């Protein structure tokens, strides 16, 4: 599981940005689970959806989910760059991106790998830790992960990659919640 933990990461840094509500959502997804849903219970999973991450797009490019459904996502990074699969609102994604930028600036996030030495150094000097975010998986090329997500009844959600530039280039898909 160590391996899973290392590759499937959400990179969250509180910083001053945490003051905005959207930011707070992104930071502490659990606390606001109602808005975007919450980690799901494996027993309640109704289906498995495979998400393949390419450079820089997803397959499938959009999702249609039943309101309140619990879905098991099997996420594969088939690209040659690091990609993220993150479920959140557009605003939350936007708030998340500056943190990802910082990861790049500190050498933690390289194009095709996560530099754990740099991550440790950053944690030591800045006092901000990296911890798993239940709504996000960050995968190096060739890696896979699973995520079980319980969707709310109403939400305006996107699945997106917040590696700098990727969202802007269109690595984002709509999640349609249907009745």
Minimum CB distance to other proteins, residue 53 (Å): 11
Spatial distance between the Cα atoms of 38 and 70, rounded to a whole number of angstroms? 9
Cα dihedral 128, 26, 150, 167 sign: negative
DSSP 3-state assignment of 105? helix
x/- map, 69-108, other proteins, by CB under 8 A: -----------xx---------------------------
* CB contact at 8 A, 32 and 91: no
Spatial distance between the Cα atoms of 114 and 7, rounded to a whole number of angstroms? 8
Question: Which residue in 4, 22, 49, 54 binds other proteins (CB under 8 A)?
Answer: 54
Q: How far is CA 58 from the centre of its chain?
A: 13
Closer residue to other proteins (CB): 55 or 132: 55
Question: Which residue in 9, 11, 23, 56 binds other proteins (CB under 8 A)?
Answer: 56
Stretch that binds other proteins, among 3-11, 52-60, 67-75, 123-131 (CB under 8 A): 52-60
Stretch that binds other proteins, among 18-26, 38-46, 53-61, 130-138 (CB under 8 A): 53-61
Closer residue to other proteins (CB): 57 or 85: 57
Stretch that binds other proteins, among 10-18, 123-131, 149-157, 161-169 (CB under 8 A): 161-169
DSSP 3-state assignment of 71? strand
DSSP count for the chain of H helices, then E strands: 5, 10
Spatial distance between the Cα atoms of 9 and 87, rounded to a whole number of angstroms? 13
Residues that bind other proteins (CB under 8 A): 54-57, 61, 80-81, 111, 164-166, 168-171
């Amino acid at each position: 599981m160590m391996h899973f933990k290392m590759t499937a990461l959400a990179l969250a840094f509180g910083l001053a940005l945490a003051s905005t509500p959207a930011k707070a959502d992104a930071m502490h997804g659990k606390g606001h689970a109602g808005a975007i849903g919450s980690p799901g219970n494996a027993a309640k999973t109704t289906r498995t959806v495979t998400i393949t991450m390419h450079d820089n797009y997803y397959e499938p490019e959009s999702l249609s989910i039943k309101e309140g459904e619990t879905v098991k996502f099997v996420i594969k990074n088939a690209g040659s760059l690091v990609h993220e699969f993150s479920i959140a609102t557009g605003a939350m994604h936007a708030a998340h991106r500056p943190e990802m930028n910082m990861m790049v600036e500190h050498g933690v996030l390289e194009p095709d790998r996560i530099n754990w030495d740099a991550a440790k150094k950053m944690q030591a000097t800045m006092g901000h830790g990296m911890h798993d975010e239940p709504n996000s998986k960050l995968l190096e090329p060739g890696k896979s992960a699973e995520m079980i997500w319980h969707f709310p009844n109403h939400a305006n959600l996107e699945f997106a990659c917040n590696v700098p530039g990727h969202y802007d280039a269109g690595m984002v898909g709509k999640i349609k919640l249907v009745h």
